[in-house]
């Protein structure tokens, strides 16, 4: 039971660090491309495909949401990029 609880705590901590690191990267991206404009950024907590990036949404000065993938923690990646194109898989 103790091992399960410790594992759950570690997974939660890792997920939260991906989110906070990605949100920091998204803020840097917005500050660089839109200096002086107010912005908000929201990122998911999990890197679902294991590529070191998490999905984020950035809103610049109340405008339309911009989709980005930004680097999470525990990776050598940094910065943000346009989301990868995902095609539906054939069944």
Residues in the chain: 91
| pLDDT digits 0-9 by tens, 50-66 | 888 999 999 999 999 99
Report the DSSP pairing between strands 80-81 and 53-60.
unpaired
Q: What is the dihedral of CA 82, 84, 87, 91, to 10 degrees?
A: -140
> Which residues make beta-bridge pairs with 50?
none
CB 39 within 8 A of CB 28: no
| pLDDT digits 0-9 by tens, 1-49 | 666 543 444 444 444 467 899 999 999 999 999 999 999 999 998 888 8
DSSP SS3 for 24:
helix
| Nearest-angstrom CA–CA distance, 25 and 21 | 6
Rounded to two decimals, what is the model's pTM?
0.75
């Amino acid at each position: 039971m103790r091992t399960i609880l410790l594992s759950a705590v570690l997974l939660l901590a890792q997920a939260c660090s991906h989110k906070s690191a990605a949100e920091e990267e998204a803020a840097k991206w917005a500050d660089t491309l839109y200096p002086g404009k107010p912005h908000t950024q929201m990122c998911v907590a999990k890197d679902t495909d294991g590529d070191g990036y998490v999905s984020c949404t950035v809103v610049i000065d109340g405008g339309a949401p911009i989709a980005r993938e930004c680097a999470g923690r525990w990776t050598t990646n940094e910065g943000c990029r346009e989301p990868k194109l995902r095609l539906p898989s054939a069944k």
